[in-house]
């Protein structure tokens, strides 16, 4: 059909076009050039249309660039096109030394898992039962037993000091993160109905997805709470003695092996997993990781501004969490040793964590939150991932951990909280969380121009909205732990969430790139809609859970066991069992030591 008929479907029989919502600008676009101008004016910058074509394999990037230059000159007159991003070919480059090393690592882990499982199962079904006094070598092999690690993973046994509501909070939060990423992928992939996104991106009903970045702040809050709670208890047991070096080393060894494994995959074999018109984006990530992988493993990649992007974009969270962990004793130890000084220092840190982001956002005229309708590269690398923008939520967690510690020391003071206080707490918590999520949608409205970002209310929102949301999360945890959680605590403490909660770390560090792989290998432009995004979200949730399960049982849990063996001589008598969390991380209860300050 003619373009004019498609855009003005009056008295036509062009399929279902008479039911399309077509705005005035689109109706006036009766030629290709006007249509392109309309699309460009109506499409957010991060989703401008892409153009691709098949060319002979002998053509270089320069040849392709010349082709598009001629196309723009001859057809679109003076319209300026963007540079050619990449040329994708079906042939893969040959494997190099780094690729072969990664293959060897995978093969070794698989082999040890098979041997460890065989030894474990054989000992279980032998006439003697379990192995008697296994040596260190045997323990090392058994650490990779898929059978035992799966049993630990599925365990729903609770310790006497188990903050059970955190299991549900962890898993639901990482699910929320995954849902937000699903919609983000919808916006960043090749789609053919670009103009329709205008209606999607400014829907207030989609606020939990479009303005869902506080989902990650939940983990900062829980991580800070557990670090403070457990460190304060350890200081009690050790009468104030504190080995800072071992504190950091244990944390590093808990997080890094699994993290290094996925970074190694990204830097080597991931480009061989598929192909497609947009596959160059993953190849680009591969190149970045090959160059900057060590930034990630030293946890300072959130402090560097890269030309393109970070190696493993979601890794900014782990860098922040490690930095906060390293600095946390500066606030936590004074709370134990010098109560008034500690409380004062923590309050000052909380105030500073609100003032600094507000001032920076105002001075740089930045958006108060991640807004997909404007270019956000400078916002993302220069503000969003920086520790001074995120530390406030960790401080809220430390305050929560301190309150839970005081409750542990003197439970009588927390047994008789007035009913009015509980009701007001739940109402405020609910309205604060909803206010942060839905209130931020004001800045998504296209009628509010970018000049809004220089306003006082924009700076205030940038400075406090994450901390306010964290206060809401802190109340939920406090109410559930102290017995005022009601059905919320019953739901969050549901035993099903215990094994699911153990997947959160591996889900977080793999789910986004699993979505990348899926979308980048699609050969055709997709149709963007809320239904498609939600549908793909459930598919990605299942796939991410399966991959996380394999990674948890074959890499994360075995290396935690090896860390225990390595520092066995450093361990004190074991305390009651407790959960471990932070960085969207969970450790099976059976694998924890007295030294462990939860991941």
Nearest-angstrom CA–CA distance, 57 and 65: 14
Quick one: pLDDT at residue 123? 85
How confident is residue 188, by pLDDT bands cut at 50, 70 and 90?
confident
Give per-residue pLDDT as tens, 145-176.
999 999 999 998 877 666 899 999 999 999 99
Give per-residue pLDDT as tens, 245-262.
999 999 999 999 999 999
Per-residue DSSP letters for 351-416?
HHHHHHHHHHHHHTT--SS--TTS--HHHIIIIIT-HHHHHHHHHHHHHHHHHHHHHHH-GGGGS-
Average pLDDT, rounded, for the chain = 83
Quick one: pLDDT at residue 10? 44
Quick one: pLDDT at residue 187? 75
Torsion 187-518-310-48 (CA) sign: negative
Quick one: pLDDT at residue 528? 82
Quick one: pLDDT at residue 71? 65
Nearest-angstrom CA–CA distance, 230 and 593: 11
Quick one: pLDDT at residue 283? 86
Quick one: pLDDT at residue 157? 86
Whether residue 215 has pLDDT greater than 80: yes
- The DSSP secondary-structure symbol of 158 reads -
Whether residue 511 has pLDDT greater than 80: yes
Worst-scoring range by mean pLDDT, 32-46, 309-323, 414-428, 460-474?
32-46
| Percent of the chain whose pLDDT exceeds 90 | 54
How confident is residue 5, by pLDDT bands cut at 50, 70 and 90?
very low
Question: Which residues does residue 56 pair with via DSSP β-bridges, in sequence order?
Answer: none
How confident is residue 328, by pLDDT bands cut at 50, 70 and 90?
very high
Quick one: pLDDT at residue 2? 40
Q: What is the mean pLDDT of residues 255-275?
A: 94
Q: What is the mean pLDDT of residues 46-66?
A: 68
How confident is residue 204, by pLDDT bands cut at 50, 70 and 90?
confident
Whether residue 402 has pLDDT greater than 90: yes
**Residue 444, Cβ density class (10 Å: 0-12 exposed, 13-18 middle, ≥19 buried):** buried
Whether residue 9 has pLDDT greater than 50: no
Worst-scoring range by mean pLDDT, 5-14, 62-71, 202-211?
5-14
Per-residue DSSP letters for 21-56?
---HHHHT--SHHHHHHHHHHHS-GGG---------
Q: What is the pTM of this model?
A: 0.85
Quick one: pLDDT at residue 19? 34
């Amino acid at each position: 059909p003619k373009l004019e008929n498609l855009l003005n479907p009056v008295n036509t029989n062009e399929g279902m076009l008479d039911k399309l919502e077509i705005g005035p600008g689109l109706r006036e676009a009766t030629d290709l050039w006007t249509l392109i101008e309309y699309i460009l004016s109506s499409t957010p910058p991060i989703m401008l249309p892409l153009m691709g074509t098949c060319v002979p394999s002998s053509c270089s990037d320069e040849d392709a660039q010349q082709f598009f230059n001629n196309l723009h000159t001859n057809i679109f007159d003076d319209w300026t096109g963007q540079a050619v991003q990449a040329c994708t070919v079906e042939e893969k480059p040959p494997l190099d030394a780094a690729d072969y090393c990664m293959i060897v690592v995978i093969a070794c882990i698989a082999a040890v898992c098979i041997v460890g499982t065989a030894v474990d199962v054989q000992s279980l079904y032998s006439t003697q039962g379990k192995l008697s006094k296994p040596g260190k070598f045997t323990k090392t092999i058994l650490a990779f037993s898929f059978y035992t690690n799966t049993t630990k993973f599925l365990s729903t046994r609770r310790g006497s000091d188990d903050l059970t509501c955190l299991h549900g909070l962890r898993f639901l939060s990482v699910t929320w993160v995954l849902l937000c990423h699903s919609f983000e992928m919808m916006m960043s992939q090749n789609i053919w109905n670009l103009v329709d996104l205008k209606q999607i991106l400014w829907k207030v009903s989609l606020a939990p997805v479009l303005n869902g970045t506080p989902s990650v702040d939940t983990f900062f809050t829980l991580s800070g709470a557990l670090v403070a709670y457990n460190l304060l208890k350890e200081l009690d047991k050790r009468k104030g003695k504190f080995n800072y070096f071992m504190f950091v080393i244990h944390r590093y060894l808990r997080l890094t092996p699994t993290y290094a494994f996925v970074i190694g995959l990204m830097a080597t074999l991931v480009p061989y997993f598929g192909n497609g018109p947009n596959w160059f984006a993953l190849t680009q990530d591969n190149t970045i990781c090959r160059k900057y992988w060590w930034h990630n493993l030293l946890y300072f990649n959130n402090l560097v501004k890269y030309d393109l992007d970070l190696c493993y974009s979601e890794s900014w969270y782990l860098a922040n969490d490690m930095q906060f962990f390293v600095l946390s004793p500066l606030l936590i130890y004074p709370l134990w040793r010098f109560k008034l000084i500690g409380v004062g220092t923590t309050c000052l840190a909380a105030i500073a964590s609100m003032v600094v982001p507000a001032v920076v956002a105002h001075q740089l005229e930045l958006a108060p939150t991640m807004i997909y309708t404007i270019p956000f590269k400078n916002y993302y690398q220069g503000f969003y991932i920086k520790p001074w923008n995120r530390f406030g939520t960790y401080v809220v967690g430390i305050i929560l951990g301190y309150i839970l510690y005081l409750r542990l020391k003197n439970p009588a003071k927390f047994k008789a909280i007035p009913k009015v206080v509980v009701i007001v707490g739940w109402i405020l918590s609910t309205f604060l969380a909803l206010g942060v999520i839905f209130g931020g949608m004001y800045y998504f409205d296209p009628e509010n121009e970018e000049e809004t970002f220089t306003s006082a209310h924009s700076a205030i929102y940038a400075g406090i909205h994450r901390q306010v949301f964290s206060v809401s999360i802190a109340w939920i945890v406090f109410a559930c732990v102290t017995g005022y959680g009601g059905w919320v605590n019953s739901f969050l403490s549901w035993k099903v969430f215990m094994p699911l909660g153990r997947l959160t770390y591996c889900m977080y560090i793999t789910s986004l790139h699993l979505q990348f792989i899926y979308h980048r290998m699609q050969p055709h432009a997709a149709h963007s809609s809320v239904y498609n995004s939600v549908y793909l979200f459930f598919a990605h949730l299942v796939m991410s859970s399966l991959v996380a399960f394999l990674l948890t049982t074959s890499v994360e849990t075995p290396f935690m066991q090896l860390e225990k063996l390595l520092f066995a001589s450093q361990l004190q008598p074991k305390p009651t069992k407790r959960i471990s969390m932070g960085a969207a991380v969970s450790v099976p209860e059976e694998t924890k030591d007295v030294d462990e300050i939860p991941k």
